[in-house]
Amino acid sequence: MKNLAPETVAAQAGGGIDEATGAIVPPLHMATTFIRDPDNQYRKGYSYGRPDNATVRQAEAVLTTLEGGAAGLVLSSGMSAATTAFLALERPAHVVAPKVMYWGLRKWLAEDAPSLGVEASFVDAADPAAIRAGVRPGKTRLIWIETPANPLWTITDIADTAAIAHAAGSLLAVDSTVQTPVLTQPIALGADIVMHSGTKYLNGHSDVIAGALVFARKDATWERAQRLRAMLGTILGPFEAALLLRGLRTLHVRVRHQCAAAMAMAQHFACHPRVEAVLYPGLATHPGHGTAARQMAGGFGGMLSIRVKGGEAAAIAAAAKVQIWKRATSLGGVESLIEHRASIEGADSPCPPDLLRLSVGLESPADLIGDLEQAIAGAT
């Protein structure tokens, strides 16, 4: 059937029934090698597990549908997906990237990418004029944005940035990990590539490291990315792909709950005497609120940060006192995580030292608010 709602596609993992058994759960294909036809062909389309796998293809098909793209690639991590997008560019490549972004990718762009022919200019991606000023017409091959961006939840206008990119002959790629396809479909807003750390909301259960790229077109960039994945062997393993597919089936219900709970949390702590500031695009005080309200449908995401009064020591002390929240990195899982982010991001990070990053899970919002209340009270 055509024109099904995205949650219908996700809930049924694409809706297919296994032809051999009638199973309504997609089968897990573990084979690394496949029989050749007697005339030496591989008519079923599979020859070896490094370039391709049927379970991975199924996860790709669901994600490609959710993102409204033409083709998808599922890879072994979010970082392998992101770096593959950069390495699939023609070289030498100048790229524009945000100052506020996932710190691991910022580090790779700053320290590793130059020797691979990729030179990045870092700009304030909340400001279209700064993005425009960072572009080198004829030389910039990609503008990379992350929205909302770690860990300040900076918002970038996707449609505006797509127009800037395309006017300069560049592509636009969006790290959409935090907004998920439930809230925003960047390709519909003009993006050429959408990237996810599937480790986060897509899988949602903190038990798979995975990444994905979805392409607006099956073009030369897509072909180079697919070749890189096959050559470097960065395809996701079939078991992890099955877990990812299983996670995707509940994506919509999880993300909608997490958005509502994060909003409740943000509103509760916004006027708290022991909180300096709450960073959440759902609050009218957030500088990106207007843009977020336009491009995120049905919620502002499950991630927020709070700046604790009393500085770094108070923030670390508050994180030490939580009982329900788990003190751990990562995000997007069913269990709520709290992290003193500056401890992980290093000296060149825009993250203030008093910031605690919160990934809101599926526990009772009242329990989560109560636990954070007592932790902050005990720390300051």
Ligand X SMILES: Cc1ncc(COP(=O)(O)O)c(C=O)c1O
Report if residue 371 touches ligand X, rule: CB under 6 A: no
Residue number, 69 or 375, with CB nearest to ligand X: 69
Name which of 284, 280, 285, 271 is nearest 300 in CA terms.
280
Site string for ligand X, 91-110 (x = CB under 6 A): -----------x-xx-----
Minimum CB separation of residue 80 from ligand X in Å reads 7
Q: How far is the CB of 303 from ligand X (least distance, A)?
A: 9
Does 224 qualify as catalytic in the annotation?
Answer: no
218 in active site: no
Least separation in angstroms between residue 151's CB and ligand X is 9
What are the strands of the beta sheet with 355-359, ordered from one edge? 275-279, 303-308, 355-359, 337-340, 326-327
- The per-residue b/e assignment along 8-20, b for 16 or more CB within 10 angstroms, e otherwise, is ebbbbbbeeeeee
Number of residues that bind ligand X (CB under 6 A): 18
Which of 375, 336, 377 lies closest to 357 in space, CA to CA? 336
Sole binder of ligand X in the list 53, 65, 179, 197 (CB under 6 A): 197
Q: Report yes or no: 161 and 128 within 8 Å, Cβ to Cβ.
A: yes
Q: Is 341 helix (H, G, I), strand (E, B) or coil?
A: coil
150 near ligand X, judged by CB under 6 A: yes
Of the candidates 102, 107, 151, 149, the one whose C-alpha atom is nearest the C-alpha of residue 127 is 149
* Active-site annotation holds for 200: yes
How far apart are the C-alpha atoms of 230 and 71, rounded to whole Å?
A: 15
Interatomic CA distance for residues 107 and 124, integer angstroms? 16
* Residue 199 touches ligand X, criterion: CB under 6 A: yes
Q: Tell me whether residue 274 is one of the annotated catalytic residues.
A: no
Among 9, 63, 75, 79, binds ligand X (CB under 6 A): 79
Q: Which of 69, 72, 211, 301 binds ligand X (CB under 6 A)?
A: 211
Q: Is 177 in the site for ligand X (CB under 6 A)?
A: yes
The site for ligand X (CB under 6 A) is made up of 77-79, 82, 102, 104-105, 146, 150, 175, 177-178, 197, 199, 209, 211, 330-331
